[in-house]
Amino acid sequence: MNTAGLPTAYEHGKRLTEPGSTVDPILVEIVQGTLASVEMEVETAIARTSRSPMIRDAHDFRAGIHDRQLRKLTGRSYSALVHPIVRDFPLEEMVEGDVFFHNDVYESEGGIGHLPDLCVTVPVFHEGTVVAFVQAFGHHDDIGGAVPGSMPSNATSVHEEGLSVPPIKLWDRGVPNKAALRIMTRNSRMPDSLAADLDAECSACLMGARRLSDLFTRYGRDDIETAFDAILDSTTETYRREILSKIPEGTYVWEDYAEHDGVDQPRLHTQRITLTKVDDAPADPETNFLGGARLIVDFTGTAPQAKGPINHCGDYVGGNFLKKWLAPILRNLADTPERMAELDVNEGIVPLIEMRFPEKGTLLTPIYPAPTNARTFVILRLLGVLAGVVAKAVDGQMPADQETIRYTGVYGKDRDGNDYLMREVLGGGSGGRYYADGEDTIHVVPDSRNLPTEFTESRFPFIVERLGLAVDSGGAGRYRGGLGYEKQIRMLQDAHFMSIADRSILACWGLKGGKAGMPFSVVIDPGGPQEREVDALADSEPVRAGQLIRIRTTGGGGWGDPLERPLDEVERDLTWGKVSLEGARTAYGVVASGGKDDVSIDVAASEALREQLRQERGDEPFFDRGPGYAQLAQGARASEYDWM
């Protein structure tokens, strides 16, 4: 039985061919290219035929291709899991035209984080037998629940978050299950969009399944499955040789925190990783691990599950989803940025990572029916915790922190008196790196984007008065953190503002002398008579017609000593408007004057100020968490794990 009390007798994770099986390397290239092409074709079809802004315009969805052992073959992005489908519907009972659906967090085997993520899965057939799966899952506008958007910030139970559907057969032999579709759309505040999105996703996955079936017909099942094994074996060996070899053998500990859960007062919700690198781990046939270098990721020390919705169900199938979610962080150890971009994350990384979870009842091992809609606070933070613990192992040769996803939006009545919901995923700045500044306004979801101004202004009753970079938001460093967004929206009619965001007190940490970035903030009516700051977790903050909403997203942490940043680079930041004159003085010790077009740096005064700042500062921790940490840590400037 798994942790949800469901049977786990299905086969998964095993090789399709015997070790040492050979296949034409040219065929492997053809198969790998075809998989990537089909995945992209499925995503393109969904983007062009869906209806909701979150899917069609923000592109908050993903496709994935898996083999009959449920192993993810593609590596362009993360995806959900096929495990819950095969658990409940044996392969031998599936037929062509079947489409399976689920969004139940606790029955998803860890592949679904919150209820708005709806997942469709289509089996691929060759000569009447299931040989692979095409899957798509994405964040949909509304699936019911206590508030529009299905993400109540103060939920204390998953039952408040919307309609929860365990694995079902949504299409049977090509015929849609109209009763199930009617139930789902009846529970949504946006039934037409939901119906159109589901139709787009089902049709796209069925199309992808046909494409893959053609591949098996063209080359034969034996050779294709041998190529599948070769693709995953190549990933395993590449990461072992190029990535794991960069981490010294030993044990390293670091932790970071979510700051609030929407129910209790803000406090430190700990997420801890103890990372052990072993160079001679024994072979494990159950996980296709052949022995040698391996990483052990132990989450012991993670805080108890929260009352509010920041929990994430990670302890399923040995943490299979989390392994593939976290593994992209390890690519930062590649020899060059160009090589990093070439490394895919597929099931081949799974044998190289062993995960150890604490007992049930923590942020990563919540007990049903704990709420999970804001689980991004945990899974995004875990990316940073892994980056931080690896940074301790490799003397800082990792990026500083970033927080690149939060949900903001407004809802109310439009000009015609109809209900509307506008919600988007706004990114933030990435962390400075040991060789370059961080990138501005990136999004953690591949290919996702903010909603176009032209689209939102034509569809919703507001005007976007500004969309640009938040000046001074990037953490100072020898390499500066990337900047976050500043977005200003003026409402044309009364409405309500919503936000699901973290890092409004705690900041993205700086590394090896770099400083933390600017936290997230929302202000309504800035400079006006009713100016007020809005909590980062808000469901229905009232906004009057004519009032302005100013949103500033997080800046990435800085890397290295900011007093070592060359003066010409600070001058460039001033010219580009990324750093203010005051920011240059206080953060970089640079005395400058003039405007963007005529910046003038006083070299002598800058050198004197930098020397003064060096004399005034004392010992500094390896990680800088910013001033917000002391607010939640009884005045402490750093944790015990922040020092080398």
Q: Give the pLDDT confidence of 205-219 residue by residue, as tens digits.
A: 999 999 999 999 999
pLDDT value at position 444? 78
Question: Which structure tokens are listed for 131?
Answer: 């040989």
Q: Give the pLDDT confidence of 333-352 residue by residue, as tens digits.
A: 999 999 999 999 999 999 99
Question: Helices then strands (H, E): number in the chain?
Answer: 13, 23
Helix (H) or strand (E) holding 613: helix 603-616
Distance CA 62, CA 447 (A): 9
Give me the mean pLDDT over the 576-592 stretch.
98
Task: Indicate the pLDDT class of residue 3, thresholds 50, 70 and 90.
Answer: very low
Task: Indicate the pLDDT class of residue 405, thresholds 50, 70 and 90.
Answer: confident
Kind of pairing between the strands at 419-426 and 510-511: unpaired
Distance CA 111, CA 313 (A): 9
Asked if residues 614 and 506 have their Cβ atoms less than 8 Å apart, the reply is no
Give me the mean pLDDT over the 616-625 stretch.
96
Give me the mean pLDDT over the 525-553 stretch.
96
Q: Which of 77, 47, 196, 116 is nearest to 423 (CA)?
A: 116
Q: Give the pLDDT confidence of 472-515 residue by residue, as tens digits.
A: 999 999 999 999 999 999 999 999 999 999 999 999 999 999 99
Question: Cβ of 414: how many Cβ atoms within 10 Å?
Answer: 16
pLDDT value at position 596? 85
- Would residue 513 be called left, alpha or beta, if left means φ above 0 and alpha means ψ between -120 and 50 degrees? left
Tell me what the pLDDT averaged over the chain comes to. 95
342-375: buried (b, 16+ CB within 10 Å) or exposed (e) per residue? ebbbbbbbbbbbbbebbeeebbbbbeebbbbbbb
Contacts with 407 (C-beta within 8 Å, 6 or more apart), sequence order = 149, 151, 423, 424, 425, 498, 499, 500, 501
Calculate what percentage of the chain has a pLDDT beyond 70: 98
Beta bridge partners of 495: 412, 543
pTM to 2 decimal places: 0.96
State the angle between helix axes of 178-186 and 191-219 in degrees (0 to 180), rounded to the nearest 10.
140
pLDDT value at position 8? 59
Q: Indicate if the pLDDT at residue 285 is higher than 80.
A: no
Question: Which structure tokens are listed for 117?
Answer: 């993520």
Question: Which structure tokens are listed for 342?
Answer: 């070439």
Distance CA 436, CA 431 (A): 9
| The one-letter amino acid at 173 | R
pLDDT value at position 449? 80
Question: Which structure tokens are listed for 175?
Answer: 């015929």
Distance CA 196, CA 303 (A): 40
